[in-house]
Structure 1
Amino acid sequence: MPNETVTHSILKANGLTLEWVEDEVVREVPLTIHYNGEEIATLLCSPSQTEELVYGFLLNEGFIRVPQDVQELRHDPSDHLVWVEGKPCNLQKELMSKRFVSACCGKSRASFCFANDVLMVTPLTSTYSIPLQEAYSYVQFLQSNSNLFDLTGGVHSGGVGYQGKVLQMSYDIGRHNVFDKLSGSAFNTGLNLENHVIFFSGRVSSEILLKVAKMKVPILIARGAPTDMALSQAAALNITVIGFAREQRLNIYTCPDRIIP
């Protein structure tokens, strides 16, 4: 397992008292992905679940669709490089943009402004529903299983749930990377996410909503707030968005029929 944190000496203030202490800081590393010999992206990420992150990124960006599309994946942890050999990418070059993907949200991240994203999403047809108490149980699990966040305050976390059971978990400094890791883990294990729930520690932007749509997940539960664009997209794509989820409180913003009192 890679080291997830490093120790820094910091000057800590408590009122007017200053004290030098040792503090754990979360690590951030660049991960450059090459696909069929071509550099396609550099992700800033946590040094964990690297293979899942790469598979999820390639899946959500349209490079691969099934496990057979990948012939080889090589990872050099010392130089933070990944080489993937796979099927020729059928996406039109003029519709793609080589991008530098940062850990925070900004113009560097894919959104509907990239034509390939529009081509990859369609409204969901799932009628999957869950009891309200099940939604609360995922929130409680997230609160009780965030050790790295408790230690550093520097990561987001998320998971996949089904019928009250947590099937997968991931964490990362980047919100988008959490979803790619969940997607890549499901991809590797053959898990179909169409009738599952994703629960997540952050807020829901349009970019996060687009990730969920590509994963074909009908219900998203988030501790943070959604944006208006995310909700417009969720309504159009038939995705249930829940925000401000706490122990026994939450807001259902779109497609409320999937939540049973």
Structure 2
Amino acid sequence: MTAVRPARAHREGRWGAVDRPLAEERPVAITVNGSTVAVMMATPADLEDFALGFLRTEGIAAPDEVTSVEILPEGRGIEARVWLVEPAADRVARRRRDRAGPVGCGLCGIDSLAEALRPLPAVAAGQTFSTAQILAAVAALPQAQPLHDATRAVHAAGFWREGHPILAREDVGRHNALDKLAGAMTRAGLDPAAGALVLTSRISVDMVQKAATLGAPVLIAASAPTTLAVAEAEAAGLTLVARARGQGFEVHTHPSRIAGATADV
């Protein structure tokens, strides 16, 4: 979503007026059965996907535990109101009582080192990708970024499968874009092991945690990973592909899923 705002532009030695589309950014509160779980700055689009994906990638609630999602304007912000079945709601309430710290970006609602580095599920084997398929996945994402094209101010996350259009979501926050994608995949009933995730951003440990919790075996990004992201991806069995631009990329973990990656020429 964009809003057009005026600006003064300096081009080729001259000043002039321009109307510039800017990415919208609003506080979004995700609430579960009436209690706030997280408040984050986000692009106010695909918010049902955002709420579903956030709960899934953070390990808070499974898709079949969600009974309804409502998106409600609240003054200058928005509430993504989620209702869960009672056993799941009780579990979330206990999690909230155990928290002491504020909600933050990335490791949302985390207040302990143990929770920040929670054990990740082992991802499924998935398929083997050719070099051409990795490059095709990377090339497909820019074609699904209309908000970025208009504003140059947002990240994107996509799910690529051979023979299918890439499914993508955009947001001012890279974590939010991945959560929105997870929610869209959940609503579409897509199996994460059937393809690869593609990101415009760097790969930090929280992005690895979200991908592994979602069940994606391959994570591709345009930028570089952190050392902790590599270590966690290795432990979870996740194939990490980084610096994927143009005709090149680097495989940091579990190269067996990429044809030819284990050979030295």
Q: TM-score range by the shorter chain?
A: 0.7 to 0.9
Change (3 A) 1:78 1:115: closer
Q: How far is 1:85 from its partner?
A: 1.7
Partner of 2:229 in structure 1? Answer: 230
1:118 matched to 2:118? The reply is: yes
Kept after mapping to 1: 8 A contact 2:242/2:249: yes
SS in 2 for 1:128: coil
The superposition leaves residues 138-174 of structure 1 with CA deviations (integer Å, 9 ceiling, x where unpaired) of 1111123322212211111121112353352111110
Q: Which moved more, 1:8-17 or 1:222-231?
A: 8-17
Partner of 1:12 in structure 2? Answer: 9
Select the structure that is richer in helix: 2
One-letter code of the match for 2:177? V
Q: How far is 1:218 from its partner?
A: 0.7
The superposition leaves residues 33-72 of structure 1 with CA deviations (integer Å, 9 ceiling, x where unpaired) of 22111112112111111100001111222332132x1222
Change (3 A) 1:12 1:116: closer
Which of 56, 70, 74 is the aligned partner of 1:74?
Answer: 70
Q: Which moved more, 1:134-143 or 1:182-191?
A: 182-191
Q: Calculate the TM-score normalised by the size of structure 1.
A: 0.87
Q: How large is the Cα RMSD of the aligned pairs?
A: 2.4
* Aligned 1:107-256 pairs, distance under 5 A: 110=110, 113=113, 115=115, 118-119=118-119, 121-256=120-255
Q: Which moved more, 1:9-18 or 1:44-53?
A: 9-18
Kept after mapping to 2: 8 A contact 1:5/1:26: yes
The superposition leaves residues 59-108 of structure 1 with CA deviations (integer Å, 9 ceiling, x where unpaired) of 222332132x1222222135411222212242543554664344xx6x76
SS in 2 for 1:148: helix
How many residue pairs match? The answer is: 253
Which consecutive residues of structure 2, in runs of 5 or more, have no partner in the other structure? 261-265
Q: Calculate the TM-score normalised by the size of structure 2.
A: 0.86
SS in 2 for 1:43: strand
Change (3 A) 1:111 1:194: farther
Partner of 2:263 in structure 1? Answer: none
Kept after mapping to 2: 8 A contact 1:111/1:210: no
One-letter code of the match for 1:197? A
* Aligned 1:82-97 pairs, distance under 5 A: 82-87=80-85, 88-90=89-91, 92-93=94-95, 95-96=98-99
1:196 and 1:159 mapped to 2: Cα distance?
10
Identity level (%):
24
One-letter code of the match for 2:203? V
2:111 and 2:128 mapped to 1: Cα distance?
28
* Aligned 1:16-35 pairs, distance under 5 A: 16-35=13-32
